[in-house]
């Protein structure tokens, strides 16, 4: 499951490109697809990431697993899993809002996004502080 940087970049790049093309076509009213279909590259990409994360977390259960730094790694993986679920929740509510399936405020749609951004900022801030202290 260890992919090189180029492979991971290519994966991200392809899905971003397809999503952007579909988004532009939808916004310019060239296609009349549902918003859930427009977000298909996002769902696929998230599914791949979730699968990779679950496989890595399940790797802890193997008999030959080396438990050194295990707690730290597990915490990190758990945060990644929560982040993925928050992103999925945001995209799902956004699609439901755009399709007018739910009558909710934009603030309610944005709550998972804010939680995700705050979490990411805390992690990045810790990294900045950590490196400075070193």
What residues line the site for another protein (CB under 8 A)? Answer: 4-6, 8-13, 16-17, 20, 23-24, 27-28, 49, 52-53, 80, 83-84, 105-107, 109-110, 113-114, 117-118, 120-121, 124-125, 127-128, 131
Based on CB atoms, which residue is closest to another protein, 40 or 115? 115
Based on CB atoms, which residue is closest to another protein, 23 or 40? 23
Query: Smallest distance, Å, CB 19 to another protein?
Result: 11
Judge residue 96's burial from the number of C-beta atoms within 10 Å of its C-beta, 0-12 exposed, 13-18 middle, 19 or more buried. middle
Question: Which residues have CB under 8 Å from 92's CB, separation 6+?
Answer: none
Are 44 and 50 a contacting pair, CB within 8 Å? no
Based on CB atoms, which residue is closest to another protein, 40 or 97? 97
Q: Which residue has the tokens 């951004």?
A: 117
Q: Can you read off the two tokens belonging to residue 60?
A: 């802890």
How far apart CA 52 and CA 36 sit, in angstroms, is: 23
Based on CB atoms, which residue is closest to another protein, 68 or 130? 130
Query: Smallest distance, Å, CB 35 to another protein?
Result: 15
């Amino acid at each position: 499951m260890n992919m090189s940087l180029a492979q991971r970049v290519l994966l991200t790049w392809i899905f971003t490109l397809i999503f952007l093309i579909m988004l532009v076509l939808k916004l310019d009213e060239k296609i009349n697809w549902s918003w859930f279909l427009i977000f298909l590259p996002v769902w696929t990409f998230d599914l791949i990431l979730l699968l990779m994360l679950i496989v890595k977390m399940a790797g802890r259960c193997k008999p030959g697993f080396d438990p050194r730094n295990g707690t730290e790694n597990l915490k990190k993986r758990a945060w990644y899993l929560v982040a993925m679920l928050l992103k999925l929740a945001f995209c799902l509510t956004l699609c439901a809002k755009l399709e007018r399936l739910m009558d909710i405020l934009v603030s309610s749609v944005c709550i998972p996004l804010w939680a995700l951004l705050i979490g990411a900022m805390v992690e990045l801030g810790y990294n900045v502080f950590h490196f400075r202290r070193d």
